[in-house]
A and B are shown apart, each in its own frame.
Chain A
């Protein structure tokens, strides 16, 4: 973390400064602009009638009583949306989903009707008056049974279709089969291997649960024909394009604005039925329609995360050198595949499953399946399934270590990709940009006195106590991504930055990403400040208004720094090029005769001959030699040449109460390498937050359903969010291995702590039992689950 002295050194408070955030001012004074804060005159309120059952035919819908309630303006059903072809909508994953129940419902809390009323309280009364008759159908909740011979048909709309967006479908509840790697070579390696291990590992269904739920205000101007939608979106431009396609209104007349967003974590990427219904309502009624979901609706019906049933296998030699990795996954996508993946990657970037290790051959197969649960799958700081992949390999390393009687840190060290191997071609097709794993691991192990802890563990074990040390060394892949293979609905995953410098030297920059708390108004300003010598305080950053911001694919998958940040640096460099030419003209020298120093161009060898960026900015709006042209601005659409590969060494020490099963995190040490660090204070904050989410997942979160498909954890009574009491102190550290292909060497860090944190904590809990031969325990590691194992082993006597 930059000390005050370091900060004083940087007059523009640019890259590397732990400067305070520029956006804080409005938030600490209660002047944030979140969607529900918006008050357009004449606004009416929409809310859903939702299915109480997980699977069933909709026999009838009776709106009469609801429509008769004073204050109710409309009750929309699929019937009303059908003439507009909006009763179904395409998903980001090449599937389609019902906007409103069309003949049947496929998950509990699915949207059945949309009631619009003058105020929210009346709307809440009205939904109780809509009478819906259902005929229940059998339910599939466990994805492992979705492809049983007698499994009920969930998607009647896909009947007879033996191919989907991602190829062949082998069963009526099959979504796709995705293979990566060399199956033959891998199978061969397993056949010949001296040692092999196998483990069934489920990464349970969880939910990102940002503090602000999803919502929108849709406003259609009948006179101008323009549609304005304010909504909780991490990807406002994509939403605009989709809305234009669905509504038939030209994209130039659709204005999507994502204002302040109270946390996203992947929950706010896709298009929800609430947005579509509000838009339709606003067009039909000619009044702004506001839809804000409740917490129960958020947890039960919006983008969930994970639900991957994985079988991992490692083949190795007797020294623990891995020879092959084989993975089979059943991916439960819920009733509709609405996964927010780049379109060619139905299992996201799961091919990172070889992790930080130099594995000669690997094969992974992911079968996506349908079940009677809400749609989604890619969310919750997962970097597109990287959390699942990383958890798999980090667990398998421990399983292998245990089989061979090797230390978990040691076995990782033996298999690390070596620093001289970078850029590294993984056997599953990625080119890892840079890394120095051994240095990071050594630094981490030393910082916590790993050897001392293992000794303590030995003593405690002799005493019948339960202490665990979890090691996780993750490499993740972020910054989607190169347009040659990364697109969302066909739009290449670039991102963009437009910078304009004003005559008096301050500037504005607009980007296609969208912060939900990550501090972009500060960090992008810092990047541009360092490039242009303008103090970051004087650089205004805007995101989220699609009418003014250049097109971008939004913020998720930790892509803002690798893609948006690169666009910002490159746009700034374009501005600087022009500034150089202007300065040269002002000083009557050739541009090549100038050198840049912090905030000015200086003539080589003549230190008194200089022009500051401020001088140049003013000159840019005055008379200039022919060919230059006034103005000082540039736009850059950045197509990243590759993803970036942040990595980290996380170590977790737990003590387990053997009489209750309670897991207590005694110490957690997180070393992150995200390349160039733009604002260390903000990075630390991201790590604290991500680790806390990791703790939630590892120790308590799960979306649980009973056998009838009723969701049991759709409120904070049972969906575990830790308070400050349950959250430990997090220790953070870092190394810096810049990305060679990124303009400022930065990789991104937002999701790393969730990727590495879950593995470290889970590995620690399981490590506590390793001496008893326990190779795996299913998350979440609640006191109850842990106690069951303790009791089984008789360790509570």
Chain B
């Protein structure tokens, strides 16, 4: 219930953050929403000596449109994602996922960047932004760089982001009218992590699926896209048989770990079932139903 001692820093700019990270290295952690880090510190599972609060940096927040791209500041909260008209029209997958994360209070503090950054396979926004074809913008002492979501997650709690970098924004191609998406998350109760969840975004041209991305949450060491399912459905008219085939691919690609939510068999089947439901819902939405 009581964190260990630490020094607290409230920088006003990204540059300040970066120099603090360089100065303190492994002894420092950034504080975003705090609803993953602070509970860990209260239980003394984490005890950084320096906490660098990102909440005072205004240009890490906000949602804007840059041509065909939606740009979401990394410190945008889950509730801000839900309230955004821009996302509702151009990237509904993200707010749909946000609604299924945590609870109302948690969503006032939890951020999309925080949910993505530390590579926790149980978090939702990694798979969700992968399905939305996102690119993450990172900033470090050497400057800014972009990493595509499909290349960002390397393992459990292991990402392509260096220790002296922070994520500044998430860039997502605006979805068009013939697009449909869904995030279907099986959980034991409100606020729980996913037993299994599937994020799907597809585009239709008439009956034909011209593009599809399918990504899974919490059924492997990291969020991942089910390439085999995407290949099987791309360019086809998606019927129940193909939906089932996609589910089979999702199940084959899973490597869930057994825990109180379920054993490997259950989680694997649920990855398949969530994928079926997400594809069906995405199709319905793409068809304008």
Contact = CB atoms under 8 A, between A and B. Distances in A.
Interface of A: 120-121, 124-125, 128, 294, 296, 659-662, 700, 704, 712-713, 718, 720, 722-723, 725-726, 782-784, 787-788, 791, 796
A125 B186 contact: no
A723 B103 contact: yes
A791 B195 CA distance: 17
Interface of B: 1-2, 4-5, 43-44, 103, 186, 188-191, 195, 260-263, 265-266, 269-270, 273
A660 B188 contact: no
A71 to B, nearest CB: 12
Contacts of A128: 4, 44
Contact of A783 (B188, B191, B263, B265): B188
A660 B189 contact: no
Nearest to A725: B190
A580 to B, nearest CB: 58
A125 B189 contact: no
A124 B261 contact: no
Contacts of B43: 296
A421 B4 CA distance: 66
Given A120-B2, A121-B2, A659 B273 contact: yes
A697 to B, nearest CB: 14
B188 A723 contact: no
A49 B193 CA distance: 31
B1 A124 contact: yes
Q: Please name the 7 residue pairs, one residue from A and one from B, whose CB atoms are nearest each other, closest first.
A: A124-B2, A784-B262, A725-B190, A723-B190, A121-B2, A294-B1, A659-B273
A791 B264 CA distance: 14
- Most chain B CB neighbours (cut-off 10 Å) among A120, A725, A784, A787: A784
Instruction: Identify whether the interface residues of A are mostly helix, strand, loop, or mixed.
Output: loop
A791 B269 contact: yes
A718 B192 CA distance: 9
B190 A788 contact: no
Contact of B261 (A125, A723, A784, A796): A784
Contacts of B262: 783-784, 787
B266 A788 contact: yes
B186 A723 contact: no
Contacts of A662: 186
Contacts of A791: 265, 269
24 contacts: A120-B1, A124-B2, A125-B2, A125-B5, A296-B43, A659-B273, A660-B186, A660-B270, A662-B186, A700-B188, A700-B189, A718-B260, A720-B188, A722-B189, A723-B103, A725-B190, A783-B262, A784-B195, A784-B262, A784-B263, A784-B266, A787-B262, A787-B266, A791-B269
A126 B43 CA distance: 14
A700 B273 CA distance: 21
Given A704-B260, A713-B260, A723 B191 contact: yes
A660 B186 CA distance: 8
A660 B190 contact: no
Contacts of B269: 787, 791, 796
A517 B1 CA distance: 26
- Most chain A CB neighbours (cut-off 10 Å) among B2, B186, B191, B262: B2
Contacts of A124: 1-2, 44
- Most chain A CB neighbours (cut-off 10 Å) among B1, B5, B261, B273: B1
A662 B188 CA distance: 9
Nearest to A297: B1
Contacts of B186: 660, 662, 783
B147 to A, nearest CB: 30
Nearest to A712: B260
Given A128-B4, A660-B270, 18 more contacts: A120-B1, A120-B2, A121-B2, A124-B1, A124-B2, A294-B1, A296-B43, A659-B273, A700-B189, A720-B188, A722-B189, A723-B191, A725-B190, A726-B189, A784-B195, A787-B266, A791-B265, A791-B269
A128 B3 CA distance: 12
Contacts of B260: 704, 712-713, 718
B191 to A, nearest CB: 7
B191 A660 contact: no
